[in-house]
Amino acid sequence: MLRIAAGTSQVWPAFTLDLTHDLLFEQECRYQLCGANGSGKSSFLRKILLPQIQSTEEAYIVYLQQQMHLQLYALKAHAAFHAPGRRIADPRDAAEYLLDDLSKTYSSRPKDIFIIADESPALELLLRFPLLHCLILIDHQQKLTNARRVIFESQNSALTKVYPDA
């Protein structure tokens, strides 16, 4: 379980997130970050959530960025050395490669798994991943069933309130 304490966080010089309650992210649960474009969901992922997960060395992280073009280049290079012949042409291929690699690593050293997807076209693949994990999703097109929602409510251009949906 990962707990992010309530409080304010200045994520950019002129932008603050106000977490009105502690946020809990548990294994075997799905979470959907909900809010308007520009409300701070991606900033929350990059500036608060990911650093907190990374600070505990007892978790694996699969992070699929909203704009994956740089991630695709990095994964193609990784695959060229570690999985010659493996084709990575699009975000779905990239997600499949990361999940396959994670499955192999997990079998020798189990740890908590956090899968974070920011507008990922590989959602169906992520939902079918068989190992126990915590899935955290930003997606404006699709609502996850059985997901706990975290609401991002813009107060003005400099402040967004963040709270778990009741």
Percent above pLDDT 90 for the chain: 84
Contact residues for 14 (Cβ-Cβ < 8 A; gap 6+) = 157, 158
pLDDT tens profile 96-109: 999 999 999 999 99
Give the separation between CA 2 and CA 114, rounded to whole angstroms. 10
**Arithmetic mean of pLDDT over the chain:** 93
Q: pTM value?
A: 0.92
Reported as a pLDDT band with limits 50, 70 and 90, residue 153 is: very high
> How many CB atoms sit inside 10 A of residue 34's CB?
19
- In eight-state DSSP terms, residue 21 is S
CA dist., res. 122 & res. 130, Å (int): 15
- State CA 93 to chain mean position distance: 17
Helix 91-108 / helix 69-82 crossing angle, nearest 10 deg: 50
Q: What are the chain's domains?
A: 26-147 (3.40.50.300)
- If pLDDT is split at 50, 70 and 90, which confidence band does 139 have? confident
Q: 9-13, 123-127, 160-164 — which is least confidently predicted?
A: 123-127
- Residue 48 tokens, joined: 């608060």
Mean pLDDT of 126-131: 94
| pLDDT at residue 42 in the model | 93
Determine which helix (DSSP H) or strand (DSSP E) holds 80, and give its type and residue range: helix 69-82
pLDDT score at 7: 97
pLDDT value of residue 12: 94
Mean pLDDT of 31-44: 94
Instruction: Say if residues 148 and 6 touch (Cβ distance below 8 Å).
Output: no
Torsion region of 144: left, alpha or beta (phi above 0 gives left; psi -120 to 50 gives alpha): beta
Provide the pLDDT confidence category of residue 145 given band limits of 50, 70 and 90. confident
